Chain A
């Protein structure tokens, strides 16, 4: 069994704010095998974004504390790494795609400069000029990749209406990377990349910016891509385009992807394995098809039920009573029990085993696990 790209073991992260302590992530364990897409789904405040940013240690360390656990990336635990060495870990091994590309792209630099910078960093690492913490294997190489064949509608120019007309200018800086930058832009299905090289982020549309963000993340040739709600800020049709792009990239790129979203529809389309988070804990994990067919945790079941598109009958719409608990005042025992219709007295005392294996089918990518005393009875819920 090949070494998993990412293995999180019993990770707990707390935020210490003046008003109290927020247990943002509690005892989360999951494994991302190489070349697979693991989706993490949950509502606002469940800790998924914290988890995403914790893996490359992007959280501001004073309010956030890694209470316990390990984050093992390609065999090395990232938590004990001293702060000074952190830049060596990020970028080459782990690539990140954030939610709002207008905030994540530097508004003062043109597209070319931003992607070229990422490529520059990678080159320096490969040539040994920059110290590398953990030189991982490069999973793919685009310099010899054939150009994708144009598909009918996707081959129409994607340049928005307000691009400058006279953009055929000489690009002045770091022209040796130009070829590679254009490669990566074509990789994200921008069919006329020369036109946008000179533009600033604010001159592009949301969908374009997100593609550039993806190109930047890929240009580091990461072994793990963490996508933190990459399509939530986009319009519906643009979201569909970017999702299509991601699905195609998943097939082409051999990186593993940790895909985080609040939208079950989106993870259904992209993920192989799915983890459901609630109030900082991973309450269910397993192959995505199995979870959608037969969820084993009451929260997952309620979540699936309250997705409006799957929902057939009329008013009233099913809801989950109550509200997400405040992460500094968590209920005792199982965190979901105040809202659970299966709750029994034991649920208030004992949180139960974390992610016990319910089912492990042969040929499935992973075993189906859930954190519930009564996982077998969940199927009987309406």
Chain B
């Protein structure tokens, strides 16, 4: 029937159906599954690698900067292998990202800014996830009209609406006007404006899951509400939320850098460098056509971090869903539906399976059937 041989790897089975592997090896199985998903989806793999690299680098910079930061910031946080002699010099072997007028090695500055930016990105996104997610779960799960839960849900949602209206950038400027510049102004502004999105997302998902038959079945079985929440609702809601979270890390990072760029965040040069404020400083004070390396590298750093998390987030969806994970990991079709307890008119399975395998091998070897 098929004119062109299709590359299909058939699932080899023994006689009479596939016995699943024993329980103890489930960890290994999921690791292998993960690996196969990565292989099937190259972009995810790249994102995963990038995120891993970024995290490792950040960790190194926190723990022992001397390993990779040769020149430190203006405040002598690094070890000078030799004082920077080449000022205002474009990228070279000794200074891979170049140096600036004030004696700062751009590479060191970018590296030193990594843990801060990354930490704030992950930290604020995590805060928004936890705070917003908790509120969303409450607002979605106990949302019956004319009950206490319903009233609470209304209160939560209207408060969320209020906070959704704030633009983070403008709010940051307003906060700076009251408490002055600094990292706290930026963090506060983003925290205040970020959690509402999670409330909406989680509430929507919770409402959808709450009415599914398996939740009703759990209620019919006598399971307590809190247990239903943690066991059924949370797990099924988590998947799109976690994906959104990883994508959000990049967004928070960019927002934080933007706030610093606009002048409401950390000043540069200051205690700790920050990519956005670096770009802002250089952009205001120098002619960028000549000194192009001043802002190019911090910008690339922001871009790569955001990209890494985006790619990871995209692929995470496939990893988390047991359905697609299996489909990708085992490149043949699904298991047989479990057979009835044997009925009359059963066929000689073993012989058939063997024949099939022989046939398959022959076909793959290119021999005609």
| A interface residues, Cβ below 8 angstroms from B | 12, 14, 16, 18-21, 23, 26-27, 67-68, 321-323, 326, 328-329, 331-332, 337-341, 343, 348
A67-B347 CB under 8 A given contacts A332-B355, A332-B356, A348-B352: no
Contact B345 A340 (CB under 8 A): yes
| B interface residues, Cβ below 8 angstroms from A | 1-3, 6, 8, 10, 327-328, 330-334, 336-337, 339-340, 343-345, 347, 352, 355-356, 359
Contact B333 A20 (CB under 8 A): yes
- In the complex, the chain B residue whose C-beta lies closest to that of A342 is B345
A326-B334 CB under 8 A given contacts A18-B328, A21-B6, A332-B352: yes
Contact B6 A321 (CB under 8 A): no
Specify which chain B residues have a CB less than 8 angstroms from the CB of A341 in the assembled complex.
Answer: 345
- In the complex, the chain A residue whose C-beta lies closest to that of B349 is A338
Contact A321 B345 (CB under 8 A): yes
Specify which chain B residues have a CB less than 8 angstroms from the CB of A23 in the assembled complex.
Answer: 1
Contact B347 A26 (CB under 8 A): no
* Cβ-neighbour of A338 out of B331, B344, B347 (below 8 A): B347
**Ordered nearest first, which 3 A-B pairs have the shortest CB separation?**
A321-B343, A20-B333, A328-B333
* Cβ-neighbour of A348 out of B3, B8, B331, B347 (below 8 A): B347
A341 to B347 CA separation, bound complex (whole angstroms): 11
Contact A12 B10 (CB under 8 A): no
Contact A67 B333 (CB under 8 A): no
Specify which chain A residues have a CB less than 8 angstroms from the CB of B347 in the assembled complex.
Answer: 337-338, 343, 348
Most chain B CB within 10 A, of A23, A321, A341, is at: A321
* Cβ-neighbour of B327 out of A18, A326, A329, A348 (below 8 A): A18
A19-B352 CB under 8 A given contacts A26-B1, A27-B1, A348-B347: no
- In the complex, the chain B residue whose C-beta lies closest to that of A16 is B6
Contact A323 B337 (CB under 8 A): yes
Contact A20 B345 (CB under 8 A): no
Can you give 15 A-B contacts (C-beta < 8 A)? Answer: A12-B1, A14-B2, A18-B327, A18-B328, A20-B331, A27-B1, A67-B3, A322-B339, A322-B343, A328-B8, A328-B333, A332-B352, A339-B345, A341-B345, A343-B347
Most chain A CB within 10 A, of B328, B336, B345, is at: B345
A21-B8 CB under 8 A given contacts A12-B1, A26-B1, A341-B345: yes
Specify which chain B residues have a CB less than 8 angstroms from the CB of A326 in the assembled complex.
Answer: 333-334, 336
A243 to B196 CA separation, bound complex (whole angstroms): 53
Specify which chain B residues have a CB less than 8 angstroms from the CB of A20 in the assembled complex.
Answer: 8, 331-333
Contact A19 B356 (CB under 8 A): no
Specify which chain A residues have a CB less than 8 angstroms from the CB of B10 in the assembled complex.
Answer: 329
CB distance from B200 to the nearest CB of A (A): 25
Specify which chain A residues have a CB less than 8 angstroms from the CB of B339 in the assembled complex.
Answer: 322-323
Specify which chain B residues have a CB less than 8 angstroms from the CB of A321 in the assembled complex.
Answer: 340, 343-345
Specify which chain B residues have a CB less than 8 angstroms from the CB of A332 in the assembled complex.
Answer: 352, 355-356, 359
Specify which chain A residues have a CB less than 8 angstroms from the CB of B1 in the assembled complex.
Answer: 12, 23, 26-27, 67-68
Contact A343 B8 (CB under 8 A): no
A18 to B345 CA separation, bound complex (whole angstroms): 34
Specify which chain A residues have a CB less than 8 angstroms from the CB of B330 in the assembled complex.
Answer: 19
- In the complex, the chain B residue whose C-beta lies closest to that of A326 is B333
Contact B2 A67 (CB under 8 A): yes
Specify which chain A residues have a CB less than 8 angstroms from the CB of B2 in the assembled complex.
Answer: 14, 21, 67
Contact B344 A329 (CB under 8 A): no
- In the complex, the chain B residue whose C-beta lies closest to that of A22 is B333
A19-B331 CB under 8 A given contacts A321-B345, A332-B352: yes
A337 to B345 CA separation, bound complex (whole angstroms): 10
Specify which chain B residues have a CB less than 8 angstroms from the CB of A329 in the assembled complex.
Answer: 10, 333
Contact B333 A19 (CB under 8 A): yes
CB distance from A316 to the nearest CB of B (A): 12
A26 to B3 CA separation, bound complex (whole angstroms): 14
- In the complex, the chain A residue whose C-beta lies closest to that of B2 is A67
A326 to B355 CA separation, bound complex (whole angstroms): 18
Specify which chain A residues have a CB less than 8 angstroms from the CB of B8 in the assembled complex.
Answer: 20-21, 328
CB distance from B141 to the nearest CB of A (A): 29
A223 to B337 CA separation, bound complex (whole angstroms): 42
Most chain A CB within 10 A, of B330, B333, B352, is at: B333
A375 to B343 CA separation, bound complex (whole angstroms): 24
- In the complex, the chain A residue whose C-beta lies closest to that of B336 is A326
* Cβ-neighbour of A343 out of B3, B345, B356 (below 8 A): B345
- In the complex, the chain B residue whose C-beta lies closest to that of A325 is B336
A19-B334 CB under 8 A given contacts A322-B343, A339-B345: yes
A20 to B333 CA separation, bound complex (whole angstroms): 6
A19 to B347 CA separation, bound complex (whole angstroms): 26
CB distance from B327 to the nearest CB of A (A): 5
- In the complex, the chain A residue whose C-beta lies closest to that of B6 is A21
CB distance from A354 to the nearest CB of B (A): 12
Specify which chain B residues have a CB less than 8 angstroms from the CB of A323 in the assembled complex.
Answer: 337, 339
- In the complex, the chain A residue whose C-beta lies closest to that of B10 is A329
A326 to B331 CA separation, bound complex (whole angstroms): 15
